[in-house]
Amino acid sequence: MQKKKTTGLVWFKNNLRVRDNKALHEAVVQHEKVVGIYHLPKHWIEQTPWGFKKMERFRAQFLIETLTQLQKDLAAINISLWVTLGDWKRTIVELQDQLNAKDIYSQKEWTQEEVEEINEIPKSLKIHAFYDQFLFHPDDIPMKTTNIPEVFTVFRKKCEKHAVIRKPVAVPRALPMNNVLQNVPKIPTLSDLGYEKITHDSRTVIPFVGGEKAAWARIEEYFWETQQLSFYKKTRNGLLGKNYSSKLSLWLGYGSLSAREIYEQVKRYEENIIKNDSTYWLIFELIWRDYFKYISLKHGNAIFKIGGVLKKSYSWDSSKSRIQKWIEGNTPEPFVNANMRELATTGFMSNRGRQNVASFFSKEWHLDWRIGAAYFEAMLVDYDVHSNYGNWMYNAGVGNDPRDRKFNIAWQAERYDPKNAYQKTWLQTTLF
């Protein structure tokens, strides 16, 4: 096949990797020259009406680290990465003209802000978009996306029985050296973006950096060196230490790892080390991640609306003083407070903590769940739009929980922190 002489643009979003990247692979197959682009929307670093930025500094730092690694990994195959901040439409038009580009390759997106950015791409650029963030590809599941079940278990069982998981795509072959651009913009620093420097807290459970290299180092450590995967189901509800769970969500959120790659590593582990409930449970959690993406694909912008996918009408409060108390970890619930202080200090919180603080926010104080979801979006290093809003709807009673549960937070604390070790760790700190 003869390659196109025009430049292929690869628009990176939350697929910041060179392995198992369909958009990158196709661009290299089709074009003699390829250039990567990453656009950081300016509104991400601007203040929301609730007093915090859409992306706070922990997320920003991990993103910068991820882009820095991606730039190095692309350079190894002679592809430049052009990182831009500000006017996306103007940037893409200028690059199109400068590089003689006719095609742009990207991961397929469907949520509102991402669609708005897609709509700003000039009609003269042909868009090639691929569903590349799933474990089960939409073409391979045994149902139409319009018929995704509203109960997770039904979805899981059908997919496990009938769907085949595709093999990861290899890293593309290196292009000729003359493909490399000169004078690409530097990746902005935290300071460039207006954030304060981060001093890492010794109590953090995520002493990791962003990027594909660090992601694979974590798999090597968690799977093969320590074999902690063998105990994942027993430890995943832990609260202290980097190994109580895999922490792979950190890199999944930026697409430095794909779900298919993790699945393949788990299967290799099962063949060579052990196959048990814990190895299955990591795959189970990947299916949950898929499910929330499919719910988003099915329901569209309903996941951002106050009534959720159930269109329920509840009376919600938006008290700024209560929201601030929750953010500061200054509520009547010590377990909630400890989790919120960990989040404010490190940009991370356990899955167990997330369920409890969300339940308290929406079902004890009846605060508008979307505000809590927005704060998680700002703070969580491993933020994923579909999982975040899917889980918040679930906990607020407007999503996919058929039992509409409310957490007994005191009981949860007693069960998961029986010696108060976690609460003692974080309640000694006063924030703000």
Specify the residue for token string 């459970």: 205
pLDDT per residue over 24-72, tens digit each?
999 999 999 999 999 999 999 999 998 999 999 999 999 999 999 999 9
Closest CA to 94 of 15, 39, 25, 27: 39
pLDDT at 182: 86
pTM: 0.96
What per-residue confidence (pLDDT) applies to 430? 63
Give the contacts of 75 (CB within 8 A, at least 6 positions apart).
81, 180
The per-residue pLDDT for range 294-347, each reduced to its tens digit, is 999 999 999 999 999 999 999 999 999 999 999 999 999 999 999 999 999 999
Q: Which residues of 372-398 are buried (b: 16+ CB within 10 A; e: fewer)?
A: bbbbbbbbbbbbbbbbbbbbbbbbbbb
Residue ranges of domains in the chain, CATH in brackets: 7-131 (3.40.50.620), 133-167+210-304 (1.25.40.80), 306-427 (1.10.579.10)
Per DSSP, 294 falls in state: H
| Residue 5 pLDDT | 87
Residue 404 is predicted with a pLDDT of: 76
Contact 379, 340 (CB under 8 A): no
pLDDT of 198:
94
How confident is the model at residue 401, as a pLDDT?
A: 80
What whole-number distance in Å separates Cα of residue 47 and Cα of residue 261?
36
Task: Name residues of the chain where pLDDT drops below 70.
Answer: 1, 429-432
Q: Are 226 and 220 in contact, with CB atoms under 8 Å apart? A: no
The half-sphere exposure of 131 on its side-chain side, counting CA atoms within 13 A, is 15
Question: What is the per-residue pLDDT for 1?
Answer: 66
The answer to whether the beta carbons of residues 309 and 393 sit under 8 Å apart is yes
